């Protein structure tokens, strides 16, 4: 089963408030862009992080709570918390 098909089996209860914040946008722009090529845009299975040409855009609604980004960002520049109570992944079937 492809990852896109697995993601389709998940259901979320979306919060309006993000549970993910980039701590220092300038690190993404300069150091990480040069030294690491912004790996969050590749390792997140749900494509939460995309580079829009000036900053990392965070589609927190798509997060599958795998916690990869907590360890995967080489600068520990992602402030990730579990979604607030009652929000986030509701159920999975895959």
Chain residues binding ligand SF4 by CB under 6 A are: 20, 22, 27-28, 32, 36, 38-40, 44-46, 48-49, 56, 63-69, 73, 75, 77-78, 80
49 by Cβ neighbours in 10 Å (0-12 / 13-18 / 19+) ranks as buried
Q: Nearest distance from residue 58's CB to ligand SF4, in Å?
A: 8
Contact 45, 79 (CB under 8 A): no
User: Closer CB to ligand SF4, residue 15 or residue 45?
Assistant: 45
Toward ligand SF4, which CB reaches closer, 1 or 36? 36
């Amino acid at each position: 089963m492809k990852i896109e098909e697995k993601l389709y089996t998940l259901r979320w209860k979306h919060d309006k408030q993000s549970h993910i914040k980039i701590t220092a946008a300038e690190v993404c722009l300069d150091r990480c862009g040069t030294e690491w090529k912004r790996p969050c845009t590749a390792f997140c299975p749900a494509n939460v992080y995309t580079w829009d040409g000036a900053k990392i855009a965070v589609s927190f609604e798509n997060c599958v709570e795998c916690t990869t980004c907590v360890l995967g960002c080489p600068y520990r520049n992602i402030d990730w918390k579990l979604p607030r109570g009652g929000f986030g992944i509701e159920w999975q079937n895959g």
